Amino acid sequence: MRGLTLALMIVVNTSMVETKSFAPLLHAVWQGLTLADLVFPTFMFVVGAALSFTLEDYQRHGDAAVLRKIATRTALIFLCGYLLNWFPFFGVDAAGHWAIAPIAHTRILGVLQRIALGYGCAALIVHYGGRAGAVLYSAVALLGYWWLMHAFGDYSLNGNAELKLDTFVLRTAHMYHGEGVAFDPEGILSTLPAIVNVLGGYLAGRFVRERGSSYKALAKLVLAGAFCVAIGLAWGSVFPINKKLWTSSYVFCTVGIDLTVLALLVYVIDLCGRRGWTFFFEVFGRNALFIYLLSEAGNSLVDALHVGQENMFDWLNATAFQSWAGDKLASLLYATACMLACWLIAYAMDRKRIYVKL
């Protein structure tokens, strides 16, 4: 599941602009849900599912060891995300000279930073509170986030409480500017409900481990998934499904879909024994963090380098695909080629048993 998610994440992140990509590979402009909007919460879900396996190993070594491991891993993943935002560390200044990219204008939060905070907070919650703590936090966080968003703003791009808090704490220079204004889709306030996606993965992983791969267990997973989606859709009528605000309705919908996908994978792989197709994605899953960093760093370099008057992204796409495939198909083929190039590197690492873990 982690490998599947990473493969789709690379394809989504290397697709072109809105007018030149297939709609499912584009994030919803504001409200709504597309295939691309499922990638990030699914990765958070998988982080939680993995936590249901690893936390027990930490706990055998005592409380201090658990806290040290959680703090170290959280800090390192957060640092990787921050350095990725700063990469390639150099740029051309106003005078046309190469200079170090200013830290004063580097975005602080981001995808890996949210994963780090989600992992760290979820690990502490389940370490000290167990299953009951996870459920209690989820209820308080989702309802509390709804209240905060309603009480201190609206659900628009320019008037939401998330924007107000981030602007006050982070300042606009350290925020994402891809929406046309300074707004961070991985901001401080929306991290609270995002932690629930990790806890959902933890509870699902623990359930599968305890109940095993039985038809009865899978039926319960599917029913739980359908229940979550139904709540999300109903809640969305008053608190719209919105990935960039990471609304509570969005959490319910994405967790519900992930529960169903997990049940489907367990059915196909464990109960039906159909494993011939899984190796491709397992290779990705064994070095997920490194390959994600590699793909994002590669995207940054391709955007920064130029061939004549075009950046390398446009030049590669036009030269290799666009001239004969058209805009949308060319975008998909380019993104798929990037994903396959990353897979070849992951495969070479797997063959040599090189696994980068934090």
What is the tens place of the pLDDT at every residue in 225-251?
Answer: 999 999 999 999 999 999 999 999 999
d(CA 320, CA 323): 7
**pLDDT value at 308 more than 80:** no
pLDDT-based confidence at residue 96 (cuts at 50, 70, 90): low
Q: Is residue 221 part of a domain?
A: no
93 has pLDDT over 70: no
Residue 341 placed within a domain:
yes
Asked if residue 357 belongs to a domain, the reply is: yes
What's the confidence (pLDDT) of residue 17? Answer: 66
In a domain, 126, yes or no: no
Structure tokens at 127: 């370490």
3-class SS of residue 33: coil
Tens of pLDDT, residue by residue over 99-115, are 787 888 899 999 999 99
The share of the chain scoring above pLDDT 90, in percent, equals: 74
Kindly report the pTM of this predicted structure.
0.93
Q: Which residues of 311-350 are buried (b: 16+ CB within 10 A; e: fewer)?
A: eebbbbbeeebbeeeebbebbbbbbbbbbeebbebbbebb
- Cα separation, 209 vs 228, in Å, equals 21
Q: Is there a domain that residue 332 lies in? A: yes
pLDDT computed for residue 318 by the predictor: 76
- Identify whether 288 is part of a domain: yes
Domain residues for 352? 1-30+275-358
Q: Find tokens 């990219």 and name the residue.
A: 101
Rounded mean pLDDT, 269-297: 94
What average pLDDT score do residues 49-60 get? Answer: 89
Listed residue (192, 197, 172, 196) closest to 184, CA to CA = 172
In a domain, 11, yes or no: yes
Strand, helix or coil for residue 15: coil
pLDDT at 97 (0 to 100): 65
Q: Does residue 184 contact residue 246 with C-beta atoms inside 8 Å?
A: no
Distance, CA of 234 to CA of 148 (rounded, Å): 19
User: Is residue 348 included in any domain, yes or no?
Assistant: yes
Instruction: Tell me if residue 31 falls in helix, strand or coil.
Output: coil
- Read off the pLDDT of residues 116-172 as tens digits, 9 standing for 90 and up: 999 999 999 999 999 999 999 999 999 999 999 999 999 999 999 999 999 999 999
Report how many domains make up the chain.
Answer: 1
What distance in Å separates the CA atoms of residue 310 and residue 322, rounded to the nearest whole number? 14
